[in-house]
Structure 1
Amino acid sequence: MNAPAALLAISVILLLVHIFLQAFLTTRELGRSWNAGPRDGGETPKSVYAGRAMRASANFRETYPAFLALMLLGDFAPNNIMLTVAGGSIWVLARIIYIPLYLSGIPYIRSIVWLISIFGLVIMLVAAFWR
């Protein structure tokens, strides 16, 4: 498996971690019948950790499409694939580190890690135009 494909696979695993973490914490609070039901009541979890998991997941999904687009662009039109992989690696690692920081409620460092992930996307964007 080449590096772009590996990063894409890891990113999908990371997406699944977000989905299952959010689902686990929400189900633990609201119960299995809520999870299995139609969720028509609009109930949302009130616990700190379930709320943080929801917000961390939403935050991940805000930048995930950009990562996917830039990684695929770098793989299909490899102007500078090494730079694309470097930026993608930074984004993936920062997003992995971000989860426990967000769940722990650690301010500032979490924001710095988020900025590092954005820096990874910028590197990937530069790679798309680098000749």
Structure 2
Amino acid sequence: MANQYAQLSAVFYALADPTRCAIVSRLGRGPETVSTLAAPFAMALPSFMKHLSVLERSGLIRSNKVGRVRTCELVPAPLSEAQRWIAEQRATWEARSDRMAAFVENLHQEELSDVQPKRRPR
């Protein structure tokens, strides 16, 4: 369980940076070389490689080097795990919110019934 949370934390950390999010988004369309991935970003290649390293450590991407060309590809499983965790959290908080809304509505109805004038028998 602790290992699962460590992996999840690594994924969220990796996705917390806009450059890394853009890389993941681009790799969602298919594998790409490092030079093609780096082209849209105004940074030196060593800085860009640090971003790729964070993504690889998180398990979100993997790379393969053939000769002098390094190609990266997306690994969707960590994204699926993060999505599942977010869905679980959402379900928990929506259920709590629904219970709170029902409680408040019930309380409001009780207050209304206490305030309404009592009818006298004839």
TM range (shorter): under 0.3
- Bigger-Rg structure (1/2): 2
The structure carrying a bigger helix percent of its residues is 1
Q: Which has the higher contact order (CA 8 A, sep 6+)?
A: 1
The structure carrying a bigger strand percent of its residues is 2
TM-score (norm: length of structure 2): 0.27
TM-score (norm: length of structure 1): 0.26
